[in-house]
Homo-oligomer: A and B are copies of this chain.
Amino acid sequence: MHTSKRVLFLDLVLSVLRLNGLLIAEGDVMTEELNLTHARWKVIGAIALSNNGLTVPGIARVLGQSRQAVQRITDVMVHDGVLEYQKNPNHKRSVLVLLSENGKEIYNTLREVQDPWAIDATEDIPIEELETGLRLVRRLIKKFN
């Protein structure tokens, strides 16, 4: 007899919370030599995936976070020379956030660490299982968004 969907789902919820903590820890260890933290590589990743830069609230929407949380991170990263603010022709106050030259180097180095990590983590997991899992997670995200 199958476990009930309710119990299964609650188990899944707690497991996702647990995995979240482990992923953050993994990311922090992986990037500590780059002087990054999980909050920072999330921002770097969001900007790197955009073509023309993003505004702070734009990054927040991509990451599903409050714009205030992102603003604080970007301010620190601009101060550290990883990001740059650039005048936004479409908005008088809301500047665009871009990777600085240093930030682009850091992103490339990040990729060099991240890619082997991803490959190693999935070496014994069939691709079909990853696809099913991702589909489920996306489905739940859409439901709660």
Chain A residues with CB under 8 Å of chain B are 2, 5-6, 8-26, 42, 45, 63-65, 114-115, 118-119, 121-122, 125, 127, 129-141, 143-145
Contact B137 A63 (CB under 8 A): no
Do A9 and B118 touch (CB < 8 A)? Answer: yes
14 example contacts (A-B, Cβ-Cβ < 8 A) are as follows: A2-B131, A5-B118, A8-B127, A9-B122, A11-B134, A13-B23, A15-B141, A18-B63, A22-B145, A26-B144, A129-B135, A129-B136, A133-B133, A133-B137
Contact B125 A22 (CB under 8 A): no
- Name the prevailing secondary structure of the A interface residues: helix
Report the bound CA distance from A46 to B118 in whole Å: 31
Q: Which residues of B contact A125 (CB under 8 A)?
A: 5, 136, 139
CA A18 to CA B19, docked complex, whole Å: 12
Contact (A64, B21) CB under 8 Å given A133-B137, A140-B121, A143-B121 = yes
Question: When A9-B118, A114-B10 are in contact, do A22 and B133 touch as well, CB less than 8 Å?
Answer: no
B6 with A119: CB separation less than 8 A: yes
Say whether, besides A5-B122, A17-B42, A133 and B132 are in contact (CB < 8 Å). Answer: yes
Q: Judging by beta carbons under 8 Å apart, are A140 and B9 in contact?
A: no
Q: A25-B144, A26-B144 are in contact. List 4 more A-B contacts (CB 8 A).
A: A5-B118, A5-B119, A12-B133, A21-B65
Say yes or no: A131 contacts B64, CB within 8 Å.
Answer: no
